[in-house]
Amino acid sequence: MDVNEKIVECWLNNCKEMFTMSDVVYDKYFSAIDLLAVSLKGESGIEVWDIEVKFKSRMTISDTDNRQNGYRYIRQQLVSDDRDKRVREIVASSDCEIKKVLITTRHFLSRKKATYWEERFRKDGITLYFFDDIIVELREHAKGLNKSNDDILQVLRLLDHLSI
């Protein structure tokens, strides 16, 4: 798990009160779900998020690229039947809804076409969250803590204490 995924996992565990698994292999090519998150507080009793994390500070999404920065690649990765099958095996439920989530930077969607990309992901049933918002929420959460054993929350507490 890379540091970007650790930040997201910290947010899921502490701000969203979700249990998580990372790097869940789902096919014979060793493709992996970055994070799988489960909440027992959902309206239907269980809420499952299948999450891809893409922190991009220089690259922007492409409509024609079939590789990692391409829309088609990301979409195909998230809506894979093998992926859904593995999630259902883990949560032991064939009827729970699996929320497809992409966590990325606003920059990755490109300022000029952000609305276009947000709508396109929404139409494909993929929910977007942005690191900008996640960091703000985590920082607010960390401010209210007297101590933390979590490295990410502790760094945020230190930055707040130092007024950085």
**How confident is the model at residue 44, as a pLDDT?**
66
**How confident is the model at residue 127, as a pLDDT?**
97
Q: Which regions of the chain are under pLDDT 70?
A: 42-44, 65-66
**How confident is the model at residue 103, as a pLDDT?**
97
Which tokens sit at 120? 């396109």
**How confident is the model at residue 52, as a pLDDT?**
95
**How confident is the model at residue 68, as a pLDDT?**
74
Q: Which residues contact 13 (CB under 8 A, 6 or more apart)?
A: 19, 20
**How confident is the model at residue 65, as a pLDDT?**
66
pTM comes to 0.89
User: Is the alpha carbon torsion for 85, 18, 49, 110 positive or negative?
Assistant: negative
